[in-house]
């Protein structure tokens, strides 16, 4: 989970010299960042360095990563007309730099570890497009969704198509698994998920599944949505830390794996406490095949690096037993 | 839910002349604000105008409601020593203005509608005390919780005692029901809730129950915590909009009522769509006694006032059928 993230000093050193979008758009640098965590920790996979919002820039909405403020969309999409104005261009052209990053990272990784690609899921992309930035209450997003369902579905359809193209291009370029981030879909209740999100996720995940690469379907705050997310698709369902792993996996049934679910804030605890948390999660998974140990959401920037190392060691040691 | 809230123009007119704490501390004004919603809408109860953080000020931590920034605690509680330094004084003295507000509001209300009092639950109060402000990830709170459990439990015990004193004083002053706001407890997983919160909530709710007044136990993002919250106590469990009401009530069992669970953002939709949402929730409740229709969290400041009126009418009309 965001292994190439902002908590590594070597990443921050690179960021001191390069803007965030510049890093993403320079394959040699992005491949280097992709490999940083795997050079430092004995993790089992590398995760592409990129951002879920990169697909939005070629739509003509004006994406910027403002210092301290997070991502900003200069022309938010709030009406049917705004949806109609979104421009369309093949991801192989507009996101060629990501595909080149994948090829470089794969060449470097060799047989050391697989490379996981990722993309934003339609709802989460839509929430940024409509709000114009991160949000607490998603007022504009839900106002469009409830107030003009036709425009909403047109937007979701468009985003689902782009997501499929983008993920398929990543797979063609060499990623060996894919994670679809529906990070903010947990702001919806089950009825709204069923009506406004599920059909688009189902279409996207079905199209992606034809590539034969494992897909992790991730969300946060989704305790009440898990069965619906499973119905939408994905080989593995991401669980955040606010749900009991054993209980959630039981609800999901036998056909699906799970990923999770350590609280990222647990990494601020003393190493022996981190170990206790890891042991509890592994105990809940009960050695059942199909559990990917991970955090429930991204590593926070202030996380002590040595605590991440302690976690990786604890997970390997405890799983080997 | 925050009926006396910031969305009413008559409230904003008062706020233009008075600071937030000044409003809270002037019983004639606070009683007036308490009555504003009930003068405008045919709602079934009035809710005390106050703030869950008022109990923290007499602890000597320096509470301020900074313009635009929300509440700020100038001396956050982050260590065992900080916990030990919290000052103690009887709420009958330090919060006499709240108790006087209750007496004035009750006198005005007469038989028109009951008055609901409220208090913050220990975890949510602790999160403000430790973070010093609202938080997204609760890093300081969980760092104290995981890193120094003894200090954490001492803090929670202290807050639980104060909450009990405060709620009992409100009941003695005349409130006819009480809501305990554990607004941010949904940032915890079930194991952490069980270990770090449940014992204190159980103690507080048992002590409050002796007064014989109905207690609503409220939280948000708590889909995976509902059974534990019920075990902690309360006559009614608050449900936010991210859970199916029928399913949640089924999980809670027969002995308890539920409150909820309209998405506050649904109030930005057109009135006919608001009505559809209300009808769906009432359908899920199925006419079973013990359902209090409410939002899943507070009214947002920009909510159109006429949409709130449309909701109140829809709920009354649909429930009468």
What does R_g of chain B's alpha carbons equal in angstroms? Answer: 19
CA–CA separation, A125 vs A78, rounded Å?
A: 13
- Domain end, chosen from B238, B266, B282, is at B238
Q: What is the mean pLDDT of residues B67-91?
A: 93
Same domain as B293, residue B184: no
pLDDT of residue A66: 81
Q: Is B147 close to A269, i.e. CB distance below 8 A? A: yes
Domain identity same for B110 and B56: yes
A4 pLDDT above the threshold of 60: no
Q: Give A-chain residues touching B191 at CB under 8 angstroms.
A: 244, 280
Q: Which residues of A touch B186 (CB under 8 A)?
A: 242
Span B17-29, average pLDDT: 96
| Overall number of domains in chain B | 2
Same domain, B65 and B32: yes
CA-nearest residue of chain A to B147? A269
* Neighbour tally for B66: CB within 10 Å: 10
Q: Of B147, B187, B242, which has the smallest distance from its Cβ to A186's Cβ?
A: B242
For residue B321, the model assigns a pLDDT of 78
Q: How confident is the model at residue A321 (pLDDT cuts 50, 70, 90)?
A: confident
Q: Which of A142, A268, A270 sits opposite B139 (nearest CB)?
A: A268
- Cβ of A224 within 8 Å of Cβ of B243? The answer is yes
Contacts of A188 in chain B (CB under 8 A): 242
pLDDT at residue number B67:
78
pLDDT tens digit string along A172-215?
999 999 999 999 999 999 999 999 999 999 999 999 999 999 99
Tell me if chain A has a CB within 8 Å of the CB of B187.
yes
Three-class SS state of A258: strand
Distance CA A285, CA A293 (A): 9
**Where is the domain boundary, B207, B238, B269?**
B238
What is the structure's pLDDT at A311?
A: 97
Count other Cβ atoms within 10 Å, centred on residue A250.
Answer: 10
Dihedral angle, C-alpha A207, A210, A212, A213, nearest 10 °: -10
What is the least distance, in Å, from the CA of B240 to any CA of chain A? Answer: 9
Going by C-alpha positions, the residue among A274, A273, A270 that lies closest to residue A293 is A274
How large is the average pLDDT for residues B169-184? 98
Partners of B262 in the β-ladder: B295
Chosen for mutation from A139, A146, A151 (greatest number of chain B CBs closer than 10 Å) is A146
In a domain, residue B24? The reply is: yes
Q: Rounded distance, CA A231 to CA A72, Å?
A: 32
The answer to whether residue B248 is domain-embedded is no
What per-residue string of b and e applies to B73-112 under the rule 16 or more CB within 10 Å gives b? beebbbeeebbeebeeeebeebbeebbbbbebbbebbeee
Confidence label for A5 from pLDDT (cuts 50, 70 and 90): low
Reported as half-sphere exposure (CB side, CA atoms, 13 A), residue A131 has a value of: 19
* Each residue's pLDDT tens digit, A135-173: 999 999 999 999 999 999 999 999 999 999 999 999 999
Retrieve residue A140's tokens: 């504009």
Q: Is the pLDDT of residue A3 over 60?
A: no
On whether both B300 and B158 belong to a single domain, the answer is no
Residues B38 and B177 in one domain: yes
Test B302 with A146 for CB contact under 8 angstroms: no
Contact B147 A187 (CB under 8 A): no
Cβ contact B7:B303 at 8 Å: yes
Longest dimension (CA), chain A: 58
A317 domain-assigned: no
Catalytic residue among A11, A78, A106, A128: A128
Please say whether the beta carbons of B84 and B13 come within 8 A. no
- Cα separation, B116 vs A245, in Å, equals 37
* Confidence label for A69 from pLDDT (cuts 50, 70 and 90): confident
pLDDT at B68: 74
Where does the pLDDT of residue A310 fall: very low under 50, low under 70, confident under 90, or very high at 90 and above? very high
Answer yes or no: are the C-beta atoms of A102 and A115 closer than 8 Å.
yes
The count of other CB atoms within 10 Å of the CB of residue A242 is 27
- Note if B128 is an active site residue: yes
Partner residue opposite A138 with nearest CB, options B221, B265, B280: B265
CATH of the domain at B31: 3.20.20.210
- Asked if the Cβ–Cβ distance from A264 to B223 is below 8 Å, we say no
Q: Are A201 and A121 in contact (CB under 8 A)?
A: yes
Average pLDDT over residues B58-76: 90
Give the mean model confidence (pLDDT) for residues A127-136: 95
Q: Are A294 and A239 in contact (CB under 8 A)?
A: no
Tell me what pLDDT residue B70 has.
85
Residue numbers in B near A261 (CB within 8 A)? 189
- What's chain A's average pLDDT? 96
The pair of structure tokens assigned to B205 is 């709710």
- Choose the mutation target among A147, A265, A277, A307 for the interface with B, i.e. most B CBs under 10 Å: A265
Torsion of CA A215, A289, A317, A1, to 10 degrees: 20
Of B317, B219, B208, B212, the residue nearest B260 (C-alpha)? B219
Number of H helices, E strands in chain A: 15, 9
CB-based burial label for A257 (10 Å; 0-12, 13-18, 19+): middle
- Pick from B272, B244, B271, B262: nearest CA to B300: B262
Average pLDDT over residues A108-116: 96
Three-class DSSP category at A216: strand
Does residue B127 surpass a pLDDT of 80? yes
Range with lowest mean pLDDT among A107-116, A225-234, B66-75: B66-75
Query: A interface mutation test: which of B78, B140, B146, B190 has the most A CBs within 10 A?
Result: B146
The band of B6, judged by pLDDT with boundaries at 50, 70 and 90, is: confident
Which strand (E) or helix (H) includes residue A177?
Answer: strand A177-182
Percent of chain A with pLDDT over 90: 94
Q: Which of B200, B116, B124, B133 is nearest to B164 (CA)?
A: B200
- Location of structure tokens 């507000």: B101
Q: Is A221 on the interface with B (CB under 8 A)?
A: yes
Residue B305 lies in a domain: yes
Distance of CA A134 to the CA centre of its chain: 15
Closest-approach residue (CA) in chain B for A241: B189
The confidence band for A68, taking pLDDT boundaries of 50, 70 and 90, is confident
**Shared domain check, B127 and B32:** yes
Contacts A139 to B, Cβ<8 Å? 265, 268, 300, 302
If asked whether residues B278 and B143 sit together in one domain, one would say: no
Q: What is the pLDDT of residues A230-243, one digit of tens each?
A: 999 999 999 999 99
Comparing C-alpha atoms, which of A32, A174, A168 is closest to residue A103? A174
Cα Rg for chain A, rounded, in angstroms? 19
8 A C-beta contact, residue A177 and residue A114 = yes
Q: Are residues B220 and B276 in the same domain?
A: no
In a domain, A163, yes or no: yes
Same domain for B223 and B81:
yes
Contact B214, B233 (CB under 8 A): no
Alpha-carbon distance A286 to nearest alpha carbon in chain B (angstroms):
16
How much is the average pLDDT of B162-185? 98
Q: Is A194 a catalytic residue?
A: no
**B298 and chain A in contact, CB less than 8 A:** no
Q: Cβ distance A217 to A185 under 8 Å?
A: no
- The confidence band for A126, taking pLDDT boundaries of 50, 70 and 90, is very high
What is the tens place of the pLDDT at every residue in B240-282?
A: 999 999 999 999 999 999 999 999 999 999 999 999 999 999 9
B115-120 and B177-182 beta bridge pairing: parallel
Residues B168 and B272 in one domain: no
* B195 inside 8 A of chain A by CB: no
B193 & B268 share domain = no
**What is the rounded distance in angstroms from the CA atom of residue A150 to the CA atom of residue A47?**
36
**Strand duo A70-73 + A115-120: pairing:** unpaired
Give pLDDT, residue B303: 95
Would you tell me how many other CB atoms lie within 10 Å of the CB of residue B255?
A: 8
Whether B264 has its CB under 8 Å from any CB of chain A: the answer is yes
- Produce one character per residue of A4-27: b if its CB has 16 or more CB atoms within 10 Å, e if not: bbebbeebeeeeeeeeebebbbbb
Q: Are strands B70-73 and B63-66 parallel, antiparallel or unpaired?
A: antiparallel
Give CA torsion, residues A150, A154, A160, A161, to 10 deg: 150
pLDDT of residue B185: 98
Calculate what percentage of chain B has a pLDDT beyond 70: 98
Quick one: pLDDT at residue A64? 92
B190 in reach of chain A (CB within 8 A)? yes
The minimal CB distance from B189 to the residues A142, A242, A269 is found for A242
Query: Is pLDDT at A100 greater than 80 in this prediction?
Result: yes
Residue B152 lies in a domain: yes
Q: In this predicted structure, what is the pLDDT of residue B296?
A: 95
B69, pLDDT greater than 90: no
How many A/B residue pairs have CB atoms within 8 Å? 97
B96-121 average pLDDT score: 97
Q: What is d(CA B307, CA B302) in angstroms, rounded to the nearest whole number? A: 11
Give the residue numbers spanning the domain of B93. 9-238
B308 lies in a domain? yes
Q: Element (H or E) spanning B151, and its range? A: helix B149-173
Look at residue B5 in the predicted model and tell me its pLDDT: 65
Q: What does the alpha-carbon distance between residue A118 and residue A181 come to, in Å, rounded to a whole number?
A: 7
- Judged by phi (left if over 0) then psi (alpha if -120 to 50, else beta), residue B207 lies in alpha
Count of CB atoms situated within 10 Å of the CB of A110: 7
Name the pTM for this structure: 0.96
Cβ of B300 within 8 Å of Cβ of A187? The answer is no
The secondary structure of A68-131 as a DSSP string is TTEEEESS---SHHHHHH-----HHHHTHHHHHHHHHHHHHHTTS--EEEEEE-HHHHHHHHHH
Q: Which of B238, B268, B296 is the last residue before a domain boundary? A: B238
CB contact under 8 Å between A266 and B143, yes or no, is no
Question: Mean pLDDT across chain B, nearest whole number?
Answer: 95
Q: Which two tokens stand for residue A152?
A: 């909403």
Question: pLDDT band at residue A6, thresholds of 50, 70 and 90?
Answer: confident
The reply to whether A227 touches chain B by the CB within 8 Å rule is: no
Q: B246 in a domain, yes or no?
A: no
ipTM of the complex: 0.94
Is A147 near chain B, with CB under 8 Å?
yes
pLDDT at B3 over 70: no
- pLDDT-derived band at B1 (thresholds 50, 70, 90) equals low
Distance CA B74, CA B58 (A): 13
Coil, strand, or helix at residue A228? helix
Q: Which residue in this structure is represented by tokens 């009035």?
A: B46
DSSP A33: H
Are B147 and B76 found together in one domain? Answer: yes
CA-CA-CA-CA torsion sign (B35, B41, B46, B51)? negative
């Amino acid at each position: 989970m965001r292994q190439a993230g902002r908590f590594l000093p070597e990443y921050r050193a690179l960021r001191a010299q390069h803007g965030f979008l510049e890093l993403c758009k320079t394959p040699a640098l992005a491949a280097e960042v992709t490999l940083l965590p795997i050079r430092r920790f004995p993790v089992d996979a590398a995760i592409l360095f990129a951002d879920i919002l990169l697909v939005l820039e070629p739509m003509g909405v004006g994406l910027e990563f403002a210092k301290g403020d997070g991502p900003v969309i200069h022309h938010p999409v709030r009406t049917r007309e705004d949806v109609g104005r979104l421009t369309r261009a093949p991801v192989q052209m507009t996101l060629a730099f990501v595909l080149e990053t994948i090829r470089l990272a794969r060449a470097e990784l060799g047989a050391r570890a697989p490379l996981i690609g990722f993309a934003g899921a339609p709802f989460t992309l839509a929430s940024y497009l409509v709000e114009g930035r991160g949000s607490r209450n998603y007022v504009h997003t839900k106002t469009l969704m409830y107030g003009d369902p036709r425009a909403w579905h047109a937007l979701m359809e468009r985003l689902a198509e782009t997501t499929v193209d983008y993920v398929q291009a990543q797979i063609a370029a060499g990623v060996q698994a894919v994670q679809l981030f529906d990070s903010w879909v947990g702001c919806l209740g089950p009825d709204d998920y069923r009506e406004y999100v599920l059909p688009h996720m189902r279409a996207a995940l079905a199209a992606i599944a034809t590539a034969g690469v494992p897909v992790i379907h991730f969300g946060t705050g989704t305790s009440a949505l898990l069965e619906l997310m499973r119905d939408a698709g994905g080989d593995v369902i991401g669980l955040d830390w606010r749900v009991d792993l054993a209980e959630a996996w039981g609800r999901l049934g036998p056909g699906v794996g799970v990923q999770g679910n350590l609280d990222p804030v647990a990494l601020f605890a003393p190493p022996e406490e981190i170990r206790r948390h890891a042991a509890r999660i592994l105990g809940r998974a009960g050695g059942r095949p199909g559990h990917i140990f991970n955090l429930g959401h991204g590593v926070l920037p202030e996380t002590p690096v040595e605590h991440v190392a302690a976690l990786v060691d604890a997970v390997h040691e405890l799983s080997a037993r």
